């Protein structure tokens, strides 16, 4: 799913975009999110109205941007550059509306791929149905033969936008408690509960529904310090620290020698006795006693 989102945004790499983490309500930590997620699914409608795209080729950065690139590994300057100029250049913007259901299956869920597929289809059929009668209370019968129970369907569940862990009134399956259903809309009048009526309002209230990007470092050929900025951006995109804490995060990426070099250990070299009365070495074989007094 990460690859799918990255491909639509024209972004290379295996890191998750912020939009991906947002729609699935992920933490942004790859290890934490992967450890709790078994499968991801989505179903929805996109209504694109217009697309704005940069046509100038090749793309060229302003000189002030190039001059702002730090020439060394300076965490403060690198963080300042990323905060001021970002990591990518926006190359296109699509406006319109979208109404999408996102399904997140947790590792504790015993449901099979086919069960999840049918579950998503049933929720989608209810969400995107043209029939006004589906806004009233009713029941949904799952297509999957493995379904064991039928639950009453609350219309508000499908006609709103939000996150629904363990939705008690959605179509029921054994193990459905470990599936999170998320409804998200962009554009249109979200007060319109029915999908068909909402779609009619997209033209009067459009929003950004899609963007494509180009890495800013690809436009810095020949600029001193490009390798440092490339590394800083890669770390930022992979671990996603808050931008206000990025400086301190990058400081920990500086190579450090945590154990002292043996020849430089304080006290490693034997020192001459400074006390005239009694001197001995804990590791030595002799006890030196002063006879002056």
Q: Is position 272 within any domain?
A: no
The pTM assigned to this predicted structure is: 0.69
Q: Is position 269 within any domain?
A: no
> Taking CA 194 as the corner, what is the angle to CA 191 and CA 200, rounded to the nearest 5 degrees?
80
- Which of left, alpha, beta for 198 (phi over 0: left; psi -120 to 50: alpha)? alpha
Q: Is position 184 within any domain?
A: yes
- Give the 3-state secondary structure of residue 181: strand
Backbone φ and ψ for 195, nearest 5 degrees, come out as: -60, -45
Q: Is position 287 within any domain?
A: no
Percent of the chain beyond pLDDT 90? 51
- Per-residue model confidence as pLDDT tens digits over 197-238: 999 999 999 999 999 999 999 999 999 999 999 999 999 998
Q: Is position 266 within any domain?
A: no
pLDDT in tens, the chain (293 residues): 999 999 999 998 888 888 999 999 898 778 888 888 999 999 999 999 999 999 877 899 999 999 999 999 999 999 999 999 999 999 999 999 999 999 999 998 898 999 999 999 999 998 998 655 333 222 222 333 222 222 333 333 333 444 433 334 444 444 556 899 999 999 999 899 899 999 999 999 999 999 999 999 999 999 999 999 999 999 999 888 999 999 999 998 876 655 655 555 555 555 555 555 555 555 555 555 666 65
Counting the structural domains of the chain, the total is 1
CB contact set of 220 (below 8 Å; sequence gap of 6+): 61, 66, 69, 226, 229
Q: Is position 168 within any domain?
A: yes
Q: Where are the alpha helices (DSSP H) in the chain?
A: 2-8, 18-23, 30-36, 63-67, 75-85, 113-127, 155-158, 195-200, 226-239, 246-251
Backbone φ and ψ for 73, nearest 5 degrees, come out as: -80, 85
Residue 136 belongs to domain spanning: 2-251
| Cα dihedral 15, 21, 26, 27 sign | positive
Q: Is position 259 within any domain?
A: no
Q: Is position 246 within any domain?
A: yes
């Amino acid at each position: 799913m990460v690859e799918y989102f990255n491909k639509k945004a024209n972004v290379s790499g295996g890191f998750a975009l912020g939009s991906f983490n947002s729609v699935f309500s992920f933490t942004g930590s790859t290890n934490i999110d992967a450890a709790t997620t078994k499968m991801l699914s989505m179903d929805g409608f996109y209504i694109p109205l217009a697309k704005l795209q940069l046509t100038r080729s090749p793309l060229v950065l302003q000189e002030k941007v190039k001059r702002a690139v730090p020439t060394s590994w300076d965490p403060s300057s690198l963080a300042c550059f990323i905060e001021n100029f970002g990591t990518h250049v926006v190359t296109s913007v699509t406006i319109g509306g979208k109404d999408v259901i996102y399904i997140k299956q947790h590792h504790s869920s015993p449901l099979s791929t086919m069960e999840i597929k049918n579950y998503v289809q049933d929720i989608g059929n209810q969400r995107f149905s043209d029939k006004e009668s589906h806004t009233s209370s009713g029941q949904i019968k799952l297509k999957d033969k493995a379904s064991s129970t039928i639950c009453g369907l609350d219309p508000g569940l499908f006609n709103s936008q939000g996150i629904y862990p363990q939705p008690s009134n959605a179509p029921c399956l054994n193990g459905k408690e470990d599936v999170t259903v998320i409804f998200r809309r962009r554009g249109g009048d979200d007060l319109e509960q029915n999908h068909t009526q909402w779609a009619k309002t997209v033209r009067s209230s459009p929003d950004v529904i899609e963007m494509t990007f180009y890495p800013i470092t690809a436009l810095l050929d020949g600029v001193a310090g490009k390798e440092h900025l490339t590394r800083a951006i890669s770390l930022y995109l992979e671990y996603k620290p808050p931008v206000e804490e990025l400086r301190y995060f990058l400081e920990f990426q500086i190579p450090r020698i945590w154990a002292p070099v043996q020849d430089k250990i304080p006290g490693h070299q034997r020192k001459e006795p400074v006390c005239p009365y009694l001197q001995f070495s804990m590791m030595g074989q002799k006890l030196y006693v002063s006879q002056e007094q």
